Amino acid sequence: MKAQPTASHFIDGAYAEDTAGATIEVIYPATGEVIAVLHEATPALVDRALASAARAQTAWAATRPVERARILRRAADIIRERNPDLARLETLDTGKPLQETLVADWPSGADALEYFAGLAPTVVGQTIPLGRDFVYTLREALGVCVGIGAWNYPSQIACWKSAPALAFGNAMVFKPSEVTPLGALQLAEIFVEAGLPPGLFNVVQGRGGVGAALATDSRVAKVSLTGSVPTGRKVYAAAAAGVRHVTMELGGKSPLIVFDDASVEDAVGAAMLGNFYSAGQVCSNGTRVFVQKGIKDRFLDRLAARTAKILLGDPLDDATQMGPLVSAVQLDKVLGYIATAKSEGARLITGGGRAALNSGYYVQPTVFADVTDAMTLAREEVFGPVMAVLDFDSEDEVISRANDTEFGLAAGVFTADLTRGHRVIGQLQAGTCWINAYNLTPVEAPFGGSKQSGVGRENGHAAVEHYTQVKSVYVGMGPVDAPY
C-alpha cells in the first residue's frame, strides 16, 4: 500500500521538496507498513512559505468578501465530490475506519468552508455617533496565521483553521502533525483548484521544531494550535514573546454525568461514542463517566454487552467499527494507562489489552468501573479506547468532583429532568457542553476549552473575533480645537 504525495510541502501554489530535511515515515497504523516518506521543512522552506503567505495576504484582504466566499464554497464542493478518495487517504494516514472517515473527517471540513464562506460577507463594522464627529470601526484581517495540527483529525483540523482564516482575509501556513501529514497537502491542492491565489494556504511538514520556527517568526500575526496541554504551554509562550494572537485547542479529561432518571440506552450509547469513536482519540471525550448509584448496575450491564459487540478490524472494510490507534507510541502509552488502572485497583469490566490483529496498533475497547477520583485513569488524558466509570450519590457531590481537574474542555449531562440538566451544566467548568447528547460538534457551534484546555474558540460566529481585529477610526468634522 502506497500513499506517496507528489512532494512533502506545498508552497506558493505548488508542491515543494528539499531532501536535506530529516525524513518522516508515514505509517499505516493497521499494519505498521510505511506508506510514504516525506522530509521535514528546512529553514529555507519555512522562510519561503512565510514570505509567500505575507506577499499574497495583502491582495487577499483587499478582495471582496463575496469573491473569497465563492472560492471557499468551490473548495467545499470539490471535497464533497472527492470524499470517497479523501476518506480512504485519511484512513491510511490515521487508521480510523472508513465508517468514520466517510462521514466525519472531510465532510466536517467541507461544512467549515461552507459556513465561513457564508459568514465572510457579513463581517462589518459599526458607526458610533459623537454629535458633530463620529467613529467608525473596521474588522480587519490579522495577516499571516500559523495553524499547527494534532494527528487525530488531521484534515478536519486543517479545514477548521484555514476556513475562518481565509474567509476573513488572512493567509495561513499550516504544519500538520508529523504522524499524519497527508491530508493537508490534499487540501492545498483543492484550494488551488478552487481558485485560491498562490501563497494563501501553504503546508510545511515537520516535527515540533518546525512548529516552533513558525510560532516565533516576526511575520506571523496569529498561532492556532490543536495539541496537548504541554505543547500548548510552549507554543503560547513562544507566541507571547511576539505579542501574537493565539487560539489553543488543548486536551481534556471531561466528565459525562448520568443521573438515575436518564434513558440507560441513550446514556450508554453516548458514553460509547464519547470514549470509543476514533478509538478514543478525541480531545472532547467524556472519559470520566459519573453514574448515579441507582442506575449503575443497569448501566454497566448494557455497556458491557454493547461494547463486546464492537467490531474491530481492517479500517478499509466498510463493516469495521473500530480501527487501531494512530501509532506504536500511542499504543504503548494507552497500554501503560491500562496497566496502571489495574494496579491502582480499578475493576476491569471488559477489554483491557492489545487486540491481536495483523501487526496493527489495536487496543480492545476497555471499560473500568469503581474508578476513584485519585486514580491516574481519572486524572490524566489517555487518548485511547479506555472508559473510566465512577459512582456518585448527589448532584452537588458530582458537580464538585467533575470540576476537580485542571482541564475544562467539555462536559455532558444525561437526565430526564431538564431543569436539572441546565442547572448542572451551568455549574460545570467547561467550554463545550451537551445535555442528553455527547460529542456532537457542528460547525455552527463554538468549540473550545476553559482552564488548561485552551483559549479562544473555533467554529461558530465566535471565530470571527479570533481571526479579525478591530480598527477604530475617529472622523473629525469641524475645526481642531487646540489650546496652544
Residue with cell 515543494: 16
Q: Active site includes 342?
A: no
Binding piece for ligand NDP, criterion CB under 6 A, among 89-97, 101-109, 113-121, 144-152:
144-152
User: Catalytic annotation on 381?
Assistant: no
How many chain residues bind ligand NDP (CB under 6 A)?
30
Q: Smallest Cα–Cα separation from 370: which of 306, 289, 310?
A: 289
* Active-site annotation holder among 96, 161, 175, 222: 161
Of the candidate residues 251, 360, 412, 421, the single one contacting ligand NDP (CB under 6 A):
251
Give me the catalytic one of 90, 114, 178, 458: 458
Nearer to ligand NDP, 107 or 252 (CB): 252
DSSP codes, 324-391: --S-HHHHHHHHHHHHHHHHTTPEEEE--SB--STTS--B--EEEES--TTSHHHHS---SSEEEEEE
Handedness of CA 311, 317, 322, 325 (dihedral sign): positive
CA–CA distance, 376 with 168 (Å, rounded to integer):
43
423 binds ligand NDP (CB under 6 A): no
Annotate each residue in 356-395 with x if it binds ligand NDP (CB under 6 A) or - if it does not, as one string. -------------------------x-x------------
DSSP-assigned beta bridge partners for residue 289: 256, 389
With contacts defined by CB under 6 A, name the span among 98-106, 250-258, 287-295, 471-479 that binds ligand NDP.
250-258
User: Which of 136-144, 220-228, 239-247, 417-425 is the region at the interface with ligand NDP (rule: CB under 6 A)?
Assistant: 220-228
For the purposes of burial, counting CB atoms within 10 Å of the CB of 269, is it exposed (0-12), middle (13-18) or buried (19 or more)? middle
Binding segment toward ligand NDP, per CB under 6 A, in 35-43, 221-229, 313-321, 364-372: 221-229
Q: Is 249 a residue of the active site? A: yes
Pairing of strands 288-292, 133-141: unpaired
Are the beta carbons of 314 and 320 closer than 8 angstroms? yes
**Interface of this chain with ligand NDP, residues 100 to 119, rule: CB under 6 A:** none
Distance of alpha carbon 287 from alpha carbon 285, whole angstroms? 6
**228 interacts with ligand NDP by CB under 6 A:** yes
List the one residue from 312, 409, 411, 463 that touches ligand NDP (CB under 6 A): 409
3-state secondary structure of 7: coil
Cβ-closest residue to ligand NDP? Answer: 211
Catalytic pick from 249, 296, 381, 433? 249
Task: Say which residue the cell 500538520 belongs to.
Answer: 176
Q: Across the strands, what pairs with 224? A: 147, 247
- Looking at residue 195, the DSSP 8-state letter turns out to be T
Among 70, 80, 88, 234, binds ligand NDP (CB under 6 A): 234
Contacts with ligand NDP, residue ranges (CB under 6 A) = 148-152, 175, 177-178, 207-208, 211-212, 215, 225-228, 231, 234-235, 249-252, 283, 381, 383, 409, 449, 454
Catalytic site positions? 161, 249, 283, 458
